Each structure stands twice: as structure tokens, then as C-alpha cells.
Amino acid sequence: MGWDYSEYFNENSFTSGLIDVLELYPIPTSDEVSLTILTDNKTRNAKVSIFNTDGELSKTIDIEGENGNIIMSTFDVQDLADGYHFVRIITDKNEIFSSSLVKI
């Protein structure tokens, strides 16, 4: 059983496998994106990969968590081309999450 994170859910929150809550916001964005992962799997680190619509890797961000249950990070996306991008997040526990973002 996971924790009750119902107060964290909104239109940008998702659940997948052992990840209880993953939030990527704001979407659309012009300068930075915030990422929050709440998990009961003692996840410490995550790797964020951002791909363009041609499937080419545009950016990779390594995130280190301060606590075994929460990973939070804000990262710059100003260097990305405007448009739609695919986001893949892989935690150190091999949890995989896919999402997308729109850069304006």
C-alpha cells in the first residue's frame, strides 16, 4: 500500500508502477520545468531524458534526491526548440515514466 497523496493530484499528475505520484509542470513552459516524484520505493536518483518529435535526444538531466521518498528538481528548458517534446524518466530503482512537455 502506498501513501495517500490525493492532495497532490492535479491534471499534470500521473501514476505508473511503483511511482505513487509524478508531477511535471508547468506545461506549456518557456524557461523551466519542475519535477516532483513521490514514491514508497526509496528512490534516490532519476535520469530525465528529453526527446524531440524526431526521437532525437535533446537534453539529459541527472537528478539527485535528498530524501528516499521525494525527488524534486527544477531544470532549464530554454535551450530546447519550441514545440512538443517527449520526456522519459528512469529512477535508480528502474521505474520508468513517460510524459511530454510543450516549449513555447
Q: Look at residue 5 and tell me whether its pLDDT is greater than 60.
A: no
Beta-strand relationship, 45-51 and 96-103: unpaired
- What pLDDT score does 94 carry? 85
pLDDT-derived band of residue 87, with 50, 70 and 90 as boundaries?
very high
Q: Look at residue 95 and tell me whether its pLDDT is greater than 90.
A: no
| pLDDT tens string 19-78 | 567 889 999 999 999 998 887 777 778 899 999 999 999 999 999 877 667 888 999 999
Q: How far is CA 77 from CA 39, 42, 47, 52, in A?
A: 25, 28, 15, 12
Ordered structural domains, the chain, with CATH: 6-103 (2.60.40.1930)
Q: How far is CA 85 from CA 28, 68, 94, 96, in A?
A: 11, 28, 22, 17
Distance in angstroms (rounded) separating the CA atoms of residues 80 and 76: 9
- What pLDDT score does 41 carry? 73
| pLDDT tens string 48-64 | 999 999 999 999 999 98
Encoded amino acid at 58, one letter: S
